[in-house]
Structure 1
Amino acid sequence: MRRTLITLTVIFFSQTTIAQQPEQDNRPHLVMGKVVDGDTIPHVYLPDVNVLAKFHFKNKRQHARYTRLVHNVKKALPYARIASQKLLAINNHMASLKTDREREAYLKIAEKQLFKEFETPLKKLTYTQGRILIKLIDRETGDTSFDLIKEYKGGFSAFFWQSIARVFGSNLKSEYDAEGDDKTIEFIITQIDNGLL
């Protein structure tokens, strides 16, 4: 009787342990191999892992400033990434067009679509978020906002919009400096990309 009880207890606990284990994928997986001293060793490439040092604040004021910067970057970053994607799509389509007249007509249509889609949300950005957006566009596209306007709309339009930006305290020629002035923004973007913010 005692032996039966022990056997039932062992079976019960082994069943619950088996039930708690996740199902294993029994499908074969192809893995690269590397031969070392006549022995084949599986060689698996793992994705890169970004290791970030913890951010230390000197006081509450610095922490509050950082929190505001996180909020502003979260507002501006999606627009910069959308701008990069749209710019790539526009460039790809323009490369397929044969004449300058077709390119100009396409640019007018693309400009109207962009204004229709983004004019209202971009007006809701604060001045600080707008300045951050200008820098993030440089980060995402590799060109300053001034250079992009000059390339697509001409030098006069770039000068005009630069003048307007300067009136509001911004600069379309602002470049993104991940190792210098914008180091904190780069830290925040890395955390956002890693799902930590």
Structure 2
Amino acid sequence: MRRIITILWTVSCVLLAPEMVAKGPARADSLMKTSKKIPVKAIVVDGDTIPQMLLNEVTVMEPWRFKNKREEAQYSRLVRNIKITLPYARMAAAKLQVINDNLAKLPTDKKRREYLKKAEKELFDEFEAPLRKLTFSQGKLLIKLIDRETGDTSYNLIREYKGGVSALFWQGIARIFGANLKDQYIPSDRVEDRMIEHIIALIDIGVL
């Protein structure tokens, strides 16, 4: 993550100056006495000691420019549905990564089959009930977000894992919602996917 460089001491002076002028010397003295002291690093430039502080990166995004009321309504629906489905997609992707890591450590096919059977039951026990509460459109969106979070379509995951837990898990989702497992997440080509990407970026930086 990029870092935003030095905040000079003069910035602090500028920020405090209006308050000091407005309230007079007594107020300025009070501010100096009650100000919380925060230790910071410093550098020396031409004999002057200049405090330094690193801030978190701030992401600035343009608002989505709606072409019409219909697109605005679509965007609003996506905001609601993404807030519901994105956590599931990210949890599922994280759990599959753990499963893959554990599978790689098992020495035999028998051990891997036993582990997959146990993992399959745990996944369905955790996800099946809440997923059934989603609407049809939320279910389709979830499958698209799974592609975004894992970097592969559900269809390809099934083909890769075949009879494994991933195949059964994605088939279960598809069975619930009747969605297309080959559906890809392509924000470069699809307006809706670009909307999704825009919304997720706003969610991740805490705007939505």
TM interval, shorter chain, is 0.7 to 0.9
Is the Cα contact below 8 Å between 2:41 and 2:53 reproduced in 1? Answer: no
2:196 corresponds in structure 1 to 185
Q: CA separation in 1, counterparts of 2:189 and 2:175?
A: 23
2:12 corresponds in structure 1 to none
Q: Alignment partner for residue 83 of structure 1, among 72, 84, 92?
A: 92
Q: Alignment partner for residue 99 of structure 1, among 105, 108, 111?
A: 108
Q: CA separation in 1, counterparts of 2:42 and 2:144?
A: 43
1:196 corresponds in structure 2 to 207
Q: Alignment partner for residue 74 of structure 1, among 72, 75, 83?
A: 83
Q: Which runs of 5+ in 1 are unaligned?
A: 1-8, 32-40
Cα 1:10–1:195 change in 2 (3 A) is: closer
Percent identity between the two aligned chains? 53
User: In the TM superposition, what is the alpha-carbon distance from 1:10 to its structure 2 partner?
Assistant: 6.3
User: In the TM superposition, what is the alpha-carbon distance from 1:111 to its structure 2 partner?
Assistant: 0.4
User: In the TM superposition, what is the alpha-carbon distance from 1:73 to its structure 2 partner?
Assistant: 1.1
Q: CA separation in 1, counterparts of 2:79 and 2:64?
A: 13
Q: CA separation in 2, counterparts of 1:61 and 1:80?
A: 27
Q: Which runs of 5+ in 2 are unaligned?
A: 1-22, 44-49
Is the Cα contact below 8 Å between 2:154 and 2:181 reproduced in 1? Answer: yes
Structure 1 residue 118 corresponds to structure 2 residue 127: yes
- Aligned-residue Cα RMSD (Å) equals 3.3
2:160 corresponds in structure 1 to 151
Write the letter of the residue equivalent to 1:190. Answer: A
Is the Cα contact below 8 Å between 2:140 and 2:177 reproduced in 1? Answer: no
Higher normalized contact order (CA 8 Å, seq sep 6+, divided by chain length) = 2
1:38 corresponds in structure 2 to none
Write the letter of the residue equivalent to 1:97. Answer: L
Q: CA separation in 2, counterparts of 1:45 and 1:139?
A: 32
Q: CA separation in 1, counterparts of 2:28 and 2:52?
A: 34
Q: CA separation in 2, counterparts of 1:45 and 1:138?
A: 35
Corresponding residue pairs, total: 176
Question: What SS is found at the alignment partner of 2:155?
Answer: helix
Is the Cα contact below 8 Å between 1:147 and 1:158 reproduced in 2? Answer: no
User: In the TM superposition, what is the alpha-carbon distance from 1:174 to its structure 2 partner?
Assistant: 1.1
Write the letter of the residue equivalent to 2:31. Answer: T
Is the Cα contact below 8 Å between 2:188 and 2:194 reproduced in 1? Answer: yes
Structure 1 residue 13 corresponds to structure 2 residue 22: no
Is the Cα contact below 8 Å between 2:153 and 2:181 reproduced in 1? Answer: yes
1:86-142 CA-partner distances (Å, limit 9, x unpaired) = 011001111110001100110000000000011100101111111111111111111
Cα 1:158–1:109 change in 2 (3 A) is: closer
